[in-house]
Amino acid sequence: MRKLKNSELERISVENFKNTNKSIALNHDEIVVAIGIIMKPAPFDYFDPESVEEVLHLLHQHGDEAKILAGGQSLGPLLNMRLSTPQIIVDINRVTDLEYYKSDDTTLKVGAMTRQSTLEDDTNLRTTQPILAASIPYIGHRSIRNRGTVGGSVAHADPAAEWPAIMLALDGALLIRNSTSSRTVDASDFYISALTTDLKPDEILVEIQLPNWVKTSGWSFIEFSRRHGDFAILGVATYLTIENRRCTKSRIAIIGGGPIPIRASKAESMLIGETISDELLKDVAEQASKELDPDSDMHASADYRRHLASVLVSSALQKAADRAGESGGQ
């Protein structure tokens, strides 16, 4: 593990940076290669550990003075614009133990350093986790997905990002570690407020856990943005299980509708035990829009986001119900 200061990083050549294939906040010219934004971060000490244990030791030692650098797609711009000024950067790109995904009888487990594009390129996910496979292409552009990590997106907790909605819609869980113990947190308890999660300063997210797909279930993921690759103005992930023509499980997760990703729990409860109908879906969608707490900004007003939610939720639920029927749920 190396410890470097900004002044030492500035002596690393662009060619050497290319050979190491690492995301490092460097000097003016090298930032163009590393991140593509010509600005300069505030001074920091840089560490590049090779194991989870080394990472946890650093976090235990430095606490909230340290920031984790994974894919760098969120932290990089914050550093360069000096919206984040940590004393310590812990680059975990050499922690290869966190790059994996595997399934057992009940759960898909994804290591926090798994790249978005790795999952995108696995055609098996289209049948084993179809809503996940459908949502990943909405994450920025391919170059973003090549660098961006699953753990980084989940832990950054942007309320307009896709992964938090998938975690909520599928009742996902997160495996978190510190230097002495580990714990598992349900996605529904993980998101606290805007860009704030249940992660403590001395903890790291090591694994994302998603239940295996149920064959009698249907799904839909719909996102509305001005251009492909932009953050969503609003997005909806739905999951329905239908048995004997009646809904036995429903999940409605909404992004862009508040400071955190939102589970429309009251709307979900309206579906349980019911036979799907156009009138029911309209009422459920209207209730879901009432559960949002959107802001008005340059992209859309709060009223527009609520209206958009009612339209997208209704459409997403209908698609999920249709898919559940095709899979034998009706």
Res 40: pLDDT? 83
Beta-bridged to residue 236, according to DSSP, are 222, 254
pLDDT above 50 (res 119): yes
Using pLDDT thresholds of 50, 70 and 90, give the confidence band for residue 6.
low
CA 135 distance to own-chain centroid: 10
Question: HSE-up of 134 (CA within 13 Å, CB side)?
Answer: 20
- pTM for the structure as a whole: 0.85
In the chain, where the domains are located: 3-91, 96-211, 217-329
Helix (H/G/I), strand (E/B), else coil: 59: helix
Q: What is the mean pLDDT of residues 220-230?
A: 91
pLDDT above 50 (res 22): no
pLDDT above 70 (res 310): yes
Whole-angstrom distance, CA of residue 236 vs CA of residue 96: 33
Q: What is the CATH number of domain 217-329?
A: 3.30.390.50
pLDDT above 80 (res 28): no
Tell me the average pLDDT of the chain. Answer: 89
CATH architecture of 96-211: 2-Layer Sandwich (3.30)
Q: How many Å is the Cα radius of gyration of the chain?
A: 21
Instruction: Report pLDDT digits (tens) over 212-224.
Output: 998 889 999 999 9
Give the residue with greater pLDDT, 230 vs 95: 95
Whole-angstrom distance, CA of residue 63 vs CA of residue 42: 18
Report the candidate in 104, 79, 103 with the shortest Cα–Cα distance to residue 90: 79
Report the candidate in 174, 147, 177 with the shortest Cα–Cα distance to residue 163: 174
CATH architecture of 3-91: 2-Layer Sandwich (3.30)
Whole-angstrom distance, CA of residue 57 vs CA of residue 59: 6
